[in-house]
Each structure stands twice: as C-alpha cells, then as structure tokens.
Structure 1
Amino acid sequence: MPTSFTTDSFQALLLFLLLAIALFAGLAERIRVPYPILLVVAGLGISFVPHMPRIPLRPDIVFTIFLPPLLYAAAWQTNWRDFQRNLWPISMLAIGLVGFTVFGVAHFADHFIPQLDFRAGFLLGAVVAATDAVAANSIATKLGLSPRVTAVLSGESLLNDATALLALEFGIGLMMGHQTPTVMEGLGRLAWLVFGGIGVGLGLGVVMSFVERWIDSSELEMVASLVVPYVAYLVGEEARASGVIAVVVCGLFLSRRSSRYLSAPARLEILAAWKALDFLLNGIVFILIGLQLPEILTGIRHNDPWTLLKYGIGFSVLLLALRMLWVFPGAKLSFMIRKAITHREDAAPPDAKSSFVVGWAGMRGVVSLAAAYSLPYTLGDGEVFQQRNLVIFLTFAAILFTLVVQGLSLPVFIRKLGLDGSSELMEEELNARCRVLSAAIGQLKKQRNETNDEDHEHDLEDMMHLYEHRLSALRAKQSAMGLSQKPVHESEHQRHSRRADLMRESVRVERETLLAIREEGAIGDDVWRKLERELDLTETRFESFGEQLPAER
C-alpha cells in the first residue's frame, strides 16, 4: 500500500472496495456470470475513475497474505476421489503443459516480438505457464462442469505452481547471466519442490490432526484453521520446497480427516466462516487485478498503443493455441499410461468434448501477475531490465483475455457440448442419502428386535417411521428423475408433498412464536439466537437438494 495513504484515506478506500465487491458480486449472481470475471471488469472500470488512488499489487503480499488461505480453501473443497482417478491427466497438464508453454512462448517472443529475445520470452512463458487455482476453482464450480473436468482443472491449477516456479527460477537465471542448470539438476530441483512440499504438508497435517483432538472450542478451531495454511506455506518456502504444494497437501489431508476431529457445531461454524473469508479474499484479489491497468500503462507509455494491442491479443491467442495443441494428445497419452499401469479394460477413453473444455478453461490470475511484478529491475551486469514492463503488460493481457473472453464463452460451450455435471452429482447424492438412511433403519430394526422395553420399542418405532418417510421421499425423487427402476405411485408423491407443506408450516409457526416470545421480553437474545439456529438447521436440512420433493417443483 502506498506510504502516502493516510489512515482515513486507506479506510475510505477499503470501504469503497468492499462495497464494490458486494455490489458487483451480487450483480454477477443475478446475471449468472461467475463473479471473478465481473470483478476484474469492474476493477478495470474503477481504475479510470478520476483521482482514484493507485493500489500496487505487491508480490510479497499476494504470496504470503492472500495465496495460502485461498489455496487451502480450494484444496479443502477438492474432490479427492476424482483427483486420484485423474492424477495422470492432471500430471500431464501440471508438468508437461508448463514446459510446453514456456518453450512455445520463448520461441514466439524471439521471432515475433522485436523487444523480446529468447531469454525474455522464456521468462514470460514461466510467468504465465501456471493456471490460477483461485480462478479455476471459482469459475469451474460456478459453471457446474462435470466432476471429472472440474477435478482435472482444479488439480492442474493446484499442482502446476511447482513446475512454473522452477521455470521462473531458470528464466531469472538466464536473464541474470547465471549458469544454466543441467537437465539432471532441474529434475532434482523439481523433485525437491514437489516431494519436499508433500512432506511438509503431510507432516503438518499429521501434527494438526493430533492437536485438533485436544481442542474443544469452535473459536480455537477456527483460529487453528486460519493459522495452518500460513505455517504450511512459510515452512515449505523456508525449506526451499514448494510452499504451494505444502498448503494444498495439508488442506487435502485435513479435509479428509475433518469428520474425525471436528465436532458438528465446530464444523458448521468453520465452514461458514471459511466460505465468507474465501469469498472476501477472492473478491479483493480479482478487483485488484483490474485496478492494475493504469500502473501497467504508465510503464509502457512510450510504446505505440496499436502495437501493444496487437501484441496483447496475439500473445493471448498463442497461449490458448499452445494449450489446445497439448490437451488433446496429452489426454490420449495419459489414458494410455494409466491403462498400461492399472490394466483396466473398462476405463473410458478421453472424449474430444471434455478435452476441448479443459483446453478452453485455462485461466490465468493473480499468481501470474504477482510473478511478473516480482521480476528484477536490473540484470546481473547492472543493466536495466528494459523488457520488464512489456512482460507485465503481456501477462495482464493474458489474464484479462482468459478470464473475460474465455470465461464468458465457457458456459455456452458447456451447454452446447452437454458437459453439465449436475445430474451426475445429483444421482450420487441421492444414492448416498438412500444408503445412509437404509443403514440407520437397519440399525433401528436391530435394536427394536433386541429390546424388551415397551417404551424403548415405541421410541424406536417412531424413529424408524421418521427415517422411512425420508427414505420414501428420496426414492420418490429418484423415480421422478428416472434414476430408479421402481416407479413410485402418484399418490406417494402427493403424500410427500403434503408432509412437506406440514413441515414448512410447523417451522413457520415455531419461528413466529419464538419471535413473539422475544418481543414480550420473556427470553433474551442469547436464547433466541440458539433456538433460531436450531430452526434454521431443521429448515435447511429439509430444504436441502436431495430431500426436495418432486411434487414441489
């Protein structure tokens, strides 16, 4: 933040940005556009407001303040099952595509951009080689991509930072005139980045999963969950491994074990708090990207605008073309490798539609821009790094193109190609709900058969009826969606609809009565909030997607 900012001006600017994030994110929700795209465009427009202060995007703040919690939140939400199943295509993108992009950009810059040579082009390629985990996760989730495509995109963006970091180290070494590492040295460095990061993440995850068992307070649980990503990142970086991979692995590890060490109230509160924090940090990051344009234009003001526009569009199209050229053969090669290793004959080969969407959805974001800003101002011989501002401009152009042009057109391709994964997820959810309820009913029946206490038997019968009604409602929904082989009679649909109306009416009466009691002064706000939370949980569970009834739609 500029040192010329006073406390009052900083507070006013922060308040303005928060209001802008809320306004444009709400607008994005109404027009059904992923909010990262609209926030970047909004930041771009706000940057031209007269007397708008310039807010530099400092790399140290991005990498040490914003990146760890955003990566941790993305890793926590990652589908581990699909991540495992698609590890080969993810690796092909996270490792192979990064190298292909770096050398492709280097050759393009050397031949088509007079201001850049091969070394500067190599550095530019390293800066933009990695897709952005924040952008990929936000946009892919919002657009409802199929689970496999989402897993590939999210996994790629979470892992490719290690290879991009290695390429950036090599690129800076080339520009500074240092000795170029050998292939074996490069592979050794990459291995340490990856496996060192994995070791740090797993080690911290094991320690935290043990420590968390001794914490009973949800407030302390929240504080611990905020500290973990920063510790993982800083320890990973201190060990000269990948801090990014350390955060990702730690997030994946703890997410898989959260059911064992987090209490139900703590889990509800932590997930709600992280959802708000993730949204806020995302909003700040994307709006800050748009606000960088005046600063970037100042650095290249001596260049011809039309030439810069041509370079920006040409470079952005090149990145898309390189990705497309790699994705299709890469998907086939990864399938062949996986089939040869697992010997699975039932594995479905990659289809062209999914490969196209994976290629089109390669978003760049704040990590690339922060990497560009972190480039040195002078070279090893003391000369000024004159191409630095052009590299930053081309990086910004690529971010803008991938987020806005590709991001806005992605929903159209998803609909046209039929890659919406909502029905697949819905089927999984309904099947899981039915199995869970069936297991609970089986346990209740077992207890009923073993008891000799009539009162206990009556209680068990009541519980069984409650679970059986819920199971019947889910099976009615499965039948209505064509997911069940056993059709459900229309009278059952009507019965479930009546029960739904009764439950909604009961919750409404309870809520109004509770408010009336509070207004009478019979209870304080503490008791009111506790009881209201219980009603909210009841209503939320009942209205959850899996238990909405066909007759209600």
Structure 2
Amino acid sequence: MHEQLPFMLALVAAIVLIEMLAKKLRIAYPVLLVVAGLLISLVPGLPKVQIDPNMIFFIFLPPLLFDASWSISFKEMKKWWRIIGSFAFLVVLFSALAVAVVANYYIPGFTLALGFLLGGIVSPPDAVSTGAITQFVKIPKSTSAILEGESLLNDASSLIIFRFALVAVGTGQFVFQTAMLEFSWMIIGGIGIGLLFGWLFMKAHKLLPTDAPSDIVFTLIEPYFLYWIAEHLHSSGVLAVVAGGLLLSNRRLSFLTSASRIMGYSFWEAMIFILNGIVFMLIGLELPEIVAGLRSNGIPLREAILYGVVVTAVLILVRMISSYIAMLATILFRPNVAPGGGNRRRMWKMPLLMGWTGMRGVVSLAAALSIPVTLNGAPFPHRNLILFITFMVILLTLLIQGLTLPYFIRRINITSYSRELQEEEAKLKVKGLLVVETVRLLKEMQQQDAYKNNFYLQRIVEQWEHKISQPENLKMDHSTKEAYLELLEKQRLFLLELGSNDPEIHDDIIRWQAFQIDLEEERIRLI
C-alpha cells in the first residue's frame, strides 16, 4: 500500500494537469485521460493498479449516479419522459440484443448468454463523456436533459440485463417467469427503497442539528447506503440511488442551508471530477494487462481488435436506427413536440446528433471489471476477450465520436431551431420577475406593525423599485464585470495587508471578510 501511494498521488496530479490541458485544447478530458493512461501503462517499472472486481460498483457507481441525479432538471425529465424512457430501456435492450446476436454468430465459442452479458456491459452511453464534450458547444436544455435522463436510467436497465445474463452464463438456463418476477422486484423495489430512505435522510437533515460539514458528510453517506440496502434486498441499487437522489435534489432548498449548498457544490464537484478521472485513467492503465490475458488464452490481438471494431459499429448503427425510429414515432404521434421549427431538413438532423452521442465510459468499465475471474471453480469463459472488447468500445467511441461530436453540433446548429428561450433571455426574465415579487413582498412587510416607519426597509424598497424602473441594470456588461472583479481582487489584497499590519484584527475576521468577497465574486461571475 505504501509503495503504491506515491504512484496514486502522481496519478491524481496527472488527472488535474490533463484536465487543464484538455480545457486549453478544447477537447473533452475523458479522451485525453484514456490516452494518457494507456501511455503511462507502457512505462516500465511502474506498479500495477488492481481493483477488486467485487468492489468496483460499490466504490464508483453510487456517488457518480447520485451526483448526476442532483444535476439533472426533474422538470425537463418529466417533460421528455417518453423519449428518455425509450432510449433508456428500449434502445438499451435493442443494443444488447443486437450485440448478442452478432457476437454469437461472429465470435467463435460465444453463446447467446455471453453475448447478452457483453451487450449489457457496452449498451449504456456515458453521461460524463457527453457532458465533458458538450461543454465546449451550446446545445438546448431539452437535448441535454434527454441525454442526462437517459444516462441515469440506462445504467439501471443495462446492469439488470448484465445481472440476468451473468446468472444465465453460470446456470446455463433462463426461466422467463422467474426472470420477470425478479425484474419487476428490481425496478419496483429499487425505486421504492430509494424514495423511502431518501425521505428518511431528508427528515434527518431537518430534525438533527446539522451544520454544513455534517450535511456534506450525510450526502456522501446517502448514495452508498441506498445502493447497499437495495442490493442487500436483491433489488436495483442503481435505481435506488437515482430515485433517492432525484427526491433529495428536488427538495434541496427545504432541508439544506445556503452554506451547506455552497460548500457541498464545491465538495461534490471536486470529488466527482477525481472519481471520473481515476476511472478513465484506469481504462488506459488496464489495457496492456488485458492484452496479456488475451495472449495467454491464445487469441490473436488483431482478431480481438476486429471483434471490438465490429461490436462498436453495431452499437453506433443500432443507436442511429433507434434515433430515427424515435423521431418518426414522434412525428406520427406527437408532431407538436418534434424539433425543427418547421424545417424538415434540420429536423431529420436531430436523430443524427442523438445517435452520435453514444460514448461509453464509467458504467461499462465498472461492469466489465466486475465479471468474476472464476465460475463454478473454472475460469470465467472468454472473460479477457469480453474485457478487451469493452475497452475497445470505450476507446473507439471516445476517440471517434468524442472528437467529432462538437463538429456535428456546430454543423447541425441545433440552437438555431430550438423553441427554448436563450439562456441570457431566460436569466433576465427570471431576474425581472424576481425583482417585481421582491418589491411586492417588501411593501407587504411595511404594512406590518413590526416594520412600520422603518427607515432602512424603505431604503431597500427604493433600491428594488429602481431596478424595476431601469431593467437594463439587471444585466452587467463585460467591461463592467471585469472592472468589478478587479475591484474585488484589490479588496483581497487590502485585507491581506490589513491582516499583516494590524495586530488587533484576528485572522478569523480577515478570512470571514475574504469569504464574503469570494461569494460576491461568484455572484458576479454568474450574472
């Protein structure tokens, strides 16, 4: 452990530096991390990074899913539930079936059960990769909500397929009635457990005298507990985490303080970044070891690469076909919500974009690594080949689709025919409505005996009424923002000098005032 600690710390530092480089090059950091991991693994003398397959799900999946459920818009999920559901369940099932049939026909010794196992592993697209790539280009909120909602639910559907296929490989049989009962319990039980314990956690936040650090610790415990209790009861831990996360996310303003939300956002952003970075780095680091396993099994590398290319092509083709089928169904049954703004040529480009957002990543890697090494005392059949194909699918989709997706988004110019308010317009609308409501509330307070003839309250009313009379002041132009940020930086320098030169002022006071400046800077940057 002590021997590997410097190497692990160096990996974390490398992840941070690679993310900086990715921003500078305007490339999604998962792409560079995979390549970097592969290059690092070729360096002789470095220790091998090995993770217990039985722990891979429990370490990485719960916090990643929990964070994703806190980030997504529940309102947008409800609005686009049909297309999210079709991509998260039907497309995943269709993809797994297609991979199973092709693998059974094309790969020697591959049974349908092994094919479904492989299909369940590689069928779910990765939200982290898509989110990292789309941050460099603008896409409508509806499109991002569909992609995020799909990624939350398709993880559950693919892992359910994976679990049943694993049982079928081990027992050599598949009982439909038993499978349907177990499938129903996994879905209903997972959602029910997530909602029940999510509600209990919410009550605990409200009733216990928590502060910001303890709230953050609770939110760190919650996804692991939800996942563990659901899996212990043989239901879906993924759905439990997603359901509990969506409930808590939707009620966050009612049980978390502003300090907990501010500190929690920074904590979770850093933690999820490190977890994602480690996983994508592992993809590259593990590849040479998988190749060595292939050679020990007598499978030529060229042949294994060909299998990976074929499976990747099948997944891309299936997703493309499914996207166009979904668009056709929308036009036939729900034409009022079909994108395109009346431009049919643009409308038919939308499925191309949806079909090209199928990068694989964290969940596929976790599922592949969790395959047991032995089965009934014998080596698990084709384990190394399944791992290699999975790595090939992740690598190819990240490099090919990941590097070209921004080009496709710009080429399609999806925002030009979106019916949504542009982000700046929406922000100004919300600010304007909030100002009007604030003035109404302040005047209502002035009528109360406790606040009558309160000079300071009257000053606040006048300030907010001024915002109504001059709505252009709600938006700060770039030069004004830069000047104000420069002023805040000079205030920090003054505080540092004051703390050094005035012995009567304690450092805690200086830090408190500096924190106020930090909050103000964050507020200005979001205007």
TM-score (norm 1): 0.85
What is the distance in 1 between the residues matched to 2:482 and 2:324? 51
What percentage of residue pairs aligned between the two structures are identical? 34
Q: Deviations over 1:320-362 (max 9, x none)?
A: 111111121134436766x4xxxxx743358333322221111
What is the distance in 1 between the residues matched to 2:473 and 2:351? 36
Pairing of 1:425-464 with structure 2 (within 5 A): 425-447=423-445, 456=454, 458-464=455-461
**Distance apart, 1:113 and its partner CA:** 2.4
Q: Deviations over 1:265-323 (max 9, x none)?
A: 12111111111111111111111111111111011123323222222222211111111
State which of 138, 146, 161 in structure 1 corresponds to 2:140: 146
User: Are 2:125 and 2:357, in contact at CA under 8 Å, matched by a contact in 1?
Assistant: no
State which of 164, 173, 189 in structure 2 corresponds to 1:196: 189
Asked if 1:401 is matched to 2:396, the reply is: yes
**Distance apart, 1:444 and its partner CA:** 2.7
What is the distance in 2 between the residues matched to 1:134 and 1:204? 26
User: Are 2:100 and 2:114, in contact at CA under 8 Å, matched by a contact in 1?
Assistant: yes
Q: Which residue of 2 aligns with 1:388?
A: 383
Asked if 1:284 is matched to 2:278, the reply is: yes
Q: Structure 2: where are the runs of 5+ without partners?
A: 341-346
**Distance apart, 1:469 and its partner CA:** 5.2
Q: Which residue of 2 aligns with 1:531?
A: 513
User: Are 1:136 and 1:157, in contact at CA under 8 Å, matched by a contact in 2?
Assistant: no
* 1:187 aligned partner, one-letter code: M
What is the distance in 1 between the residues matched to 2:264 and 2:283? 28
**Distance apart, 1:29 and its partner CA:** 1.2
**Deviation >6 Å, runs of 4+:** 449-454, 496-499
What is the distance in 2 between the residues matched to 1:142 and 1:501? 22
* 1:251 aligned partner, one-letter code: G
User: Are 1:360 and 1:406, in contact at CA under 8 Å, matched by a contact in 2?
Assistant: yes
Change (3 A) 1:370 1:436: same
Q: Which residue of 1 aligns with 2:250?
A: 256
Q: Which residue of 2 aligns with 1:419?
A: 414
Q: Deviations over 1:108-151 (max 9, x none)?
A: 11222234343322221122122234434444456443211211
Change (3 A) 1:262 1:52: same
What is the distance in 2 between the residues matched to 1:452 and 1:63? 56
Q: Which residue of 1 aligns with 2:499?
A: 518
User: Are 1:57 and 1:292, in contact at CA under 8 Å, matched by a contact in 2?
Assistant: no
Change (3 A) 1:175 1:503: closer
* 2:190 aligned partner, one-letter code: G
What is the distance in 2 between the residues matched to 1:230 and 1:203? 15
Secondary structure of the corresponding residue to residue 440 of structure 1: helix
Tell which deviates more after alignment, 82-91 or 298-307: 298-307
What is the distance in 2 between the residues matched to 1:499 and 1:161? 45
* 2:524 aligned partner, one-letter code: F
Change (3 A) 1:16 1:423: farther
Secondary structure of the corresponding residue to residue 300 of structure 1: helix
Change (3 A) 1:146 1:18: same
Change (3 A) 1:506 1:292: closer
User: Are 1:57 and 1:370, in contact at CA under 8 Å, matched by a contact in 2?
Assistant: no
State which of 132, 151, 156 in structure 2 corresponds to 1:157: 151
**Distance apart, 1:234 and its partner CA:** 0.3
Asked if 1:359 is matched to 2:355, the reply is: yes
Q: Which residue of 2 aligns with 1:342?
A: none
State which of 318, 327, 338 in structure 2 corresponds to 1:348: 338
Change (3 A) 1:467 1:505: farther
Report the aligned-residue RMSD: 2.8
Change (3 A) 1:508 1:118: closer
Q: Structure 1: where are the runs of 5+ without partners?
A: 1-5, 340-344, 479-492, 548-553
What is the distance in 1 between the residues matched to 2:369 and 2:481? 56
* 1:391 aligned partner, one-letter code: I
Secondary structure of the corresponding residue to residue 422 of structure 2: helix
